[in-house]
Amino acid sequence: MRHHRGLLGLLVASLLRPSTGDTLDIEASLFLDSNCFDRYSELLLLDDGCYANLYTNLTKAFKLRIVGFTAPYKYDIYDYTDACHTQFSPKRTLTAGKCERFVGGYFVEMTNRLRSSTCVGQDCSRLAVTKQRFFSESMCVGLPYEVYTYPVQNECMRWSNGTQAFRVDPTTTNVTQVDYLVNDKCGGDLTREYVMSVGYCYELYPDRAPRSFKWEVERYDSTTISEAWRPAGLGLVQAAGMAAPLALLGSSRDL
């Protein structure tokens, strides 16, 4: 019964999506002043990602969520005293293209960036992500019942017992996860490292769900994109299929 409902939900979700595998990321330009004149840094952020708050010691994490999908785009910004469970202050809604207050005394100007295997040009997001899919069944069969998405450019993310960062080698063979235990800023000596084989099915609990999980990587591939330049429609279809075989599922928030 549960299985059946899940399948229906998946079908509905796929019908609602404009194009499978297309995701919006958030480009955030940080400034030191309230006129957004004095540039500080550039971030490319995952919608709904739980980022370690490196900008203040007052809170431990922040999160941006795209809430308005027609221009001018809107974003809810949250800050937390833990791994994105306990809010420190009420959420604020920020507008794209405006100079808005960020966290920790910084200011921000934001815009959306499309991440898609068929997106061409400078405005596309080239954020690479890993998806950790958990399955109720062993051997990673059936529908994943939980999917976690992380960026893999070594960004500092918040988790329950400290911070963590993910990276992937150039051949997309291994995802490396480093946990920084009880450290708020991805530093310190107390670390734990896990090297996971991309696409390999790891068995988990023998007697209860989740029984297995695997890691996949979605990253921009210039050879895939060059296919999309071809006038024939075939190249486009192939490009989309290759880069996002399981893209129907979207990020963990969609499930």
- The whole-angstrom separation of Cα 96 and Cα 68 is 10
Q: Does residue 248 sit in helix, strand or coil?
A: helix
Check binding of 195 to ligand NAG (CB under 6 A).
yes
Amino acid at 244: A
Among 139, 190, 204, 242, binds ligand NAG (CB under 6 A): 190
Please state the closest distance from residue 23 (CB atom) to ligand NAG, in A.
26
- Applying the rule CB under 6 A, the residues between 118 and 157 that interact with ligand NAG are none
Return the closest-CA partner of residue 22 out of 125, 151, 115: 115
Check binding of 34 to ligand NAG (CB under 6 A).
no
**Segment near ligand NAG (CB under 6 A); pick from 42-50, 130-138, 173-181, 244-252:** 173-181
Among 86, 89, 173, 226, binds ligand NAG (CB under 6 A): 173
Among 87, 174, 251, 252, binds ligand NAG (CB under 6 A): 174
Tokens describing residue 101: 């207050």
Q: Which residue has the tokens 């290759």?
A: 242
Residue 151 exposure: Cα atoms within 13 Å on the Cβ side: 22
**Segment near ligand NAG (CB under 6 A); pick from 16-24, 70-78, 107-115, 167-175:** 167-175
Check binding of 202 to ligand NAG (CB under 6 A).
no
**Segment near ligand NAG (CB under 6 A); pick from 34-42, 90-98, 169-177, 246-254:** 169-177
Check binding of 171 to ligand NAG (CB under 6 A).
yes
Tell me whether residue 69 or residue 194 sits nearer to ligand NAG (CB atom).
194
Residues 6 or more apart in contact with residue 3 via CB below 8 angstroms: 142, 143
Q: Which residue has the tokens 């993910």?
A: 166
With contacts defined by CB under 6 A, how many residues of the chain interact with ligand NAG? 11
**Segment near ligand NAG (CB under 6 A); pick from 36-44, 120-128, 165-173, 242-250:** 165-173
Q: Which residues pair with 43 in a beta bridge?
A: 28
Please state the closest distance from residue 185 (CB atom) to ligand NAG, in A.
8
Q: Check: CB of residue 116 under 8 Å from CB of residue 129.
A: no
Overall residue count recorded for the chain in this entry:
255
Q: Does residue 192 sit in helix, strand or coil?
A: strand
Q: Check: CB of residue 188 under 8 Å from CB of residue 178.
A: no
Check binding of 161 to ligand NAG (CB under 6 A).
yes
- Applying the rule CB under 6 A, the residues between 53 and 72 that interact with ligand NAG are 56-57
Residues 6 or more apart in contact with residue 178 via CB below 8 angstroms: 164, 165, 166, 186, 191, 192, 193, 194
Check binding of 182 to ligand NAG (CB under 6 A).
yes
Check binding of 169 to ligand NAG (CB under 6 A).
yes
Tokens describing residue 103: 């966290």
Residues that bind ligand NAG (CB under 6 A): 56-57, 161, 169, 171, 173-174, 181-182, 190, 195
